[in-house]
Amino acid sequence: MADFPDPSAPSPPKSSRNSLHSFPRSSSASSVTGTPLAINTNSNILRFRPKPSPSPEILAPQPRRHLLESNASQSWLHTPPLSPASSRGISPTSTRGFSPHLHSNGQQSFRSIMDHGVSKLTSVKETSSPETGAGRRWIRWSHKRGMRASLITVVFLTCVLVKMCVGLGSYSGENTPPMYGDYEAQRHWMEITLHLPTTRWYTYDLQYWGLDYPPLTAYVSWVCGAVARSINPAWVALDSSRGIETATSKVFMRLSVVAFDSLVYVPALLFFSRIWLAKRSKRTQDLAFLLLMFQPALSLIDFGHFQYNSIMLGLTVMALNCFATGRDSLGAVLFVLSLGFKQMALYYAPAVGSYLLAKCVMLGPKAGGRLFVHLGVATIATFTILFLPWLPPFSSSPFALLDPLSRIFPFARGLFEDKVANFWCASNVVVKWNKWASQGILVQGAAALTLLGFLPTVVIVGKSAWDLNTWFLRPSSSTSPAENDSDQKQQDPEPSTLPLLPLLLYSLLTSSMSFFLFSFQVHEKTILLPLMPLMLLFSGSTPDSDIFAWGALGSNVAVFSMWPLLKKDGLSLPYFVSILLWNRLTGHNPFKLIRTVLPYTSLVHLLSTCVYSAIFVLHVLEPFVKAPARYPDLFPVLNVLVSTPVFMCIWLWSIKSCIQVSWAITGPSGSGFSVGDHQIQHRDRAMSVMSDASDLPSSSSTSVARQLRDDGTRASSLGYAQMKKKRRTSTHSVSGMSSAVPAPPSSSFLSRSNGSIAVTGHS
């Protein structure tokens, strides 16, 4: 029996202390602890006496965050490092190495040797120069000084100040008659909705900024127009106020954007950081909110160029929050409102629709059918209320509904506008599409490519739901019918415990990016839609994860792709300042990537280096090199050719990530664990893969899920399954959004508790 000495006991005499060192240090017990030994011959107790130290070091086992200790699982599941923002203490590195690529004779494979060498190089680089963002350091400083309660208020007020500083600059169409720009379009819609009946909103003077957004935009314009008329009727006088640019009217227009942003978008981001990152530390949640608030692309468009995109994006994020907490009907209503504000929210429709339909499939015929009916009723009722003024008997004409629909979907405008970084504009440099094909063929081709673009994520979500539904609902052949009935009642999935939620953000990214790249009539500003789910994933990631690298690259390139538009609007200074501020907050350093291109650690590292170098060269040459007369759009076209490959890579990466997350939930081939009774293993694994949001007080969980949490099962991340494995010498942890994959234990074994199999570990 080994025991530590009682601190209250009297210390032994000096001679006995010296005799402790007479034992040889080559003994087995001494070699384990590295401390002298003492033997009590009367009680046959071996005592360990630690050396006195002012700050004793606590040794803890290193967690093994692998789903299974098999070569098959290691080929498709790779683990990112532990979040440095976590409030938990970091355990010392284990002295025993672990390699998933050991052969049966105990020899390491070539891949394991190469991975070990790469990990040593990476760890030396990271230890010598850790890269932490100013936002992370400020959050840590604020928490240590007891500013948690006021931190969100400080972030909000600071962000409002920054956005208003952006608004001090120019805007779209300033002092450029006769049409001016988007600023005048938004003001003109306030004018016509305030003075004209609803039947004329979509038909009045279409040549001068005719209304071409869904009814919710018109209703918001009516509210703003009513407030403006109460302050100064001249701001929104019908026809006579066209082109008005007084200082007071500008202040009112800018404040209207700030007001709707604060009422819709900011609460949505705050709830997102609290709901989707519920199992992460408070610091990580606050940091995610900070990074999302200071994202430069939306600030430059809404508060510089002038639009109200934050309303559409805020309603979409609120819908995601409702889906995460099991309030699917309310989420459907909010998403329809997002569609009712701007039709570009249709970019998210395939992902949202496939997720909700897959959830109905997983819940089974009874509960799933009931949910399907509720979703259908909520969707139809919301659309009906939005378009009510154009429906009989409220409309005098039975065809009045065609007026808003023809304006919302303008197929007669052309394949793309200006120079947008998508497939059609980039390939138009070589293939002149308008000369080779008619407009009807181009519309059909764009629709076909868009469908093929988001089809993979729909198939992945559907297959995952089908596999999980089979494991949940199919009874085991080894049990009696009575036991099957009781197990069926206990293991029926509830809406809040379904493991499909981790797929949702990746599906949104795939769907919206496919629309941006391949659909018809795309603006450069619509990059905001695929950027939103990418930033949501980025907000909870760690600086050494692939999600962080792709998110930082996507954000910077998205802002760069809008550079020709922002330059035309006179927003050059806010453009550079916003990018530098956001990269400083995140800790992402493009110049450092350019300097350390070799040896590159991943594909995204090499791509980032090449793209940032090209961006730097273009920004340096543009002020000094004049475009030739034959090619007046030389620099905008080069901008497109630099940005489009990045968006294509992000689209492909999102599809790959969907596949990996699906494998993490259901297994790479739908086969689950390969030990024991296959059917029971499938069903138990599906029960163990629970969503983070299921632990919220507003939702309930099944008894099996509660048992798994009691056993110490951990949640992993949406970045859990990564194709490029990153082995670290410090500790392993999660990056990205909290997800539903249970993390394996330090002892790496499967434990069975109450008839359910789960991979458990110490929390």
Supply the DSSP string of 47-68, one letter for each residue.
EE-PPP-SSPPPP-PPP---S-
The C-alpha R_g of the chain, in whole angstroms, comes to 30
Grouping H, G, I as helix, E, B as strand and the rest as coil, residue 307 is coil
- Given a contact cutoff of 8 angstroms between Cβ atoms, the answer to whether 332 and 375 are in contact is yes
359 in any annotated domain:
no
Torsion angles phi and psi, residue 724, rounded to 5? -95, 110
320 in any annotated domain:
no
What residue type is assigned to position 738 of the chain? S
715 sits in which H/E element: strand 714-717
What is the DSSP-derived secondary structure letter of residue 108?
Answer: B
Give the closest residue to 463 by CA, choosing from 326, 658, 629, 308. 658
- CA 168 – CA 159 distance, rounded (Å): 14
Grouping H, G, I as helix, E, B as strand and the rest as coil, residue 266 is helix
- CA 436 – CA 444 distance, rounded (Å): 14
What is the DSSP-derived secondary structure letter of residue 234?
Answer: G
Determine the Cα angle at 113 with ends 81 and 714, to 5°: 25
Residues in the chain, pLDDT under 50: 1-5, 7, 11-48, 63-130, 473-479, 484, 487-497, 670-763
Give the closest residue to 562 by CA, choosing from 538, 527, 608, 535. 527
- CA 291 – CA 383 distance, rounded (Å): 34
Domain that holds residue 30: 2-48
What is the DSSP-derived secondary structure letter of residue 417?
Answer: -
- Given a contact cutoff of 8 angstroms between Cβ atoms, the answer to whether 590 and 612 are in contact is yes
668 in any annotated domain:
no
- CA 224 – CA 338 distance, rounded (Å): 18
- CA 738 – CA 728 distance, rounded (Å): 21
DSSP labels, 502-523:
HHHHHHHHHHHHHHHHHSSSB-
11 in any annotated domain:
yes
- CA 721 – CA 662 distance, rounded (Å): 9
With a CB cutoff of 8 Å and minimum separation 6, the contacts of 635 are: 564, 618, 622, 627
Hey, which residues does 742 pair with through a beta bridge?
715
Structure tokens at 182: 């988007």
Going from the C-alpha of 487 to that of each of 594, 672, 703, the distances in angstroms are 58, 19, 11
Q: What is the pLDDT of residue 597?
A: 67
Give the closest residue to 214 by CA, choosing from 386, 333, 376. 386
Give the closest residue to 703 by CA, choosing from 759, 638, 755, 656. 755
Residue with token string 């059918």: 369
CB atoms within 10 A of CB 388: 12
Torsion angles phi and psi, residue 756, rounded to 5? -115, 145
DSSP labels, 20-39:
HTTS-TTSHHHHHH-S-EEE
Give the closest residue to 564 by CA, choosing from 227, 282, 182, 172. 172
Give the closest residue to 450 by CA, choosing from 423, 427, 430, 429. 423
Residue with token string 């098999």: 70
Residue with token string 């935009």: 217
Q: Could you give the count of Cα atoms lying within 13 Å of 72 in the half-sphere of its Cβ?
A: 9
26 in any annotated domain:
yes
Q: Kindly report, residue by residue over 576-624, the tens digit of the pLDDT.
A: 999 999 999 999 988 888 877 677 778 888 899 999 999 999 999 999 9
- CA 686 – CA 573 distance, rounded (Å): 52
Q: Kindly report, residue by residue over 491-527, the tens digit of the pLDDT.
A: 444 444 468 899 999 999 999 999 999 988 788 899 9
- Given a contact cutoff of 8 angstroms between Cβ atoms, the answer to whether 479 and 487 are in contact is yes
- Given a contact cutoff of 8 angstroms between Cβ atoms, the answer to whether 371 and 478 are in contact is no
- Given a contact cutoff of 8 angstroms between Cβ atoms, the answer to whether 721 and 704 are in contact is no
With a CB cutoff of 8 Å and minimum separation 6, the contacts of 98 are: 64
44 in any annotated domain:
yes
What is the DSSP-derived secondary structure letter of residue 2?
Answer: E
What is the DSSP-derived secondary structure letter of residue 462?
Answer: H
Residue with token string 């508790």: 753
- Given a contact cutoff of 8 angstroms between Cβ atoms, the answer to whether 512 and 348 are in contact is yes
Q: Domain total for the chain?
A: 1
- CA 484 – CA 490 distance, rounded (Å): 10
Give the closest residue to 316 by CA, choosing from 294, 291, 334. 334
33 in any annotated domain:
yes
673 in any annotated domain:
no
Give the closest residue to 526 by CA, choosing from 608, 416, 634, 442. 416
